[in-house]
Amino acid sequence: MVEVDLSQLPFTLMDEAGRDHVRRGMDLAYFDRDEIILEMGQAGESVFLIHKGEVAELDPTLPAASARIGHYTAGDLFGAISILNGKSRYRFQAEQECLCYVMPKALFTQLCRHYPPFEQFFKQSLSHKARLLTEKRAEGGVTMAGFMLAKVNECMSEPLLIYAS
């Protein structure tokens, strides 16, 4: 079991039993500077939680000057959207030596099934990311070509029913 701080979103959307399950299922991985952690087109097999270091999210189809579309530091997560979409739309590369907690796909999907708010967090993150990329595009930076959005039916949840007592 790894000792990891799960006192932040999205882990606070689970009960303590869920967080214990996360701790038991995570490993710690080391990545060298400039090492590619997740390649564009690669199947999403893990969620990464950065313990130490920095990771760049890159769009290799863009010129080098504008290829960097995201920056992740300690406490940030990446890779979940690659699991939800089936593959990574971008490259994730260590900008310096990096330690990441690694959650296997099987554990992530199990947590999504058992904790719907946990799953919704990532689907909302995808929507937020789309909004940020649209804003950057409006500034003349990035095109939306190649950016995969979640299907509407994947983001829909059951209606909340409240019964009178």
Q: What residues does each domain of the chain span?
A: 11-155
pLDDT at 147: 43
- Using CA atoms, how far apart are residues 56 and 77, in angstroms rounded to an integer? 12
41: left (phi over 0), alpha (psi -120 to 50) or beta: left
Does residue 144 register a pLDDT over 70? Answer: no
CATH 3.40.50.300 fits 11-155, yes or no: no
pLDDT at 110: 92
Strand-pairing partners, residue 9, are none
How does pLDDT run across 79-96, given as a tens digit for each residue? 998 898 889 999 999 999
Band of pLDDT at residue 126, cut at 50, 70 and 90: low
- Using CA atoms, how far apart are residues 65 and 161, in angstroms rounded to an integer? 50
Burial class (CB in 10 A: 0-12, 13-18, 19+), 126: buried
Residues with Cβ within 8 Å of 113's Cβ and at least 6 positions away in sequence, in order, are 119
Does residue 99 register a pLDDT over 70? Answer: yes
pLDDT at 145: 41
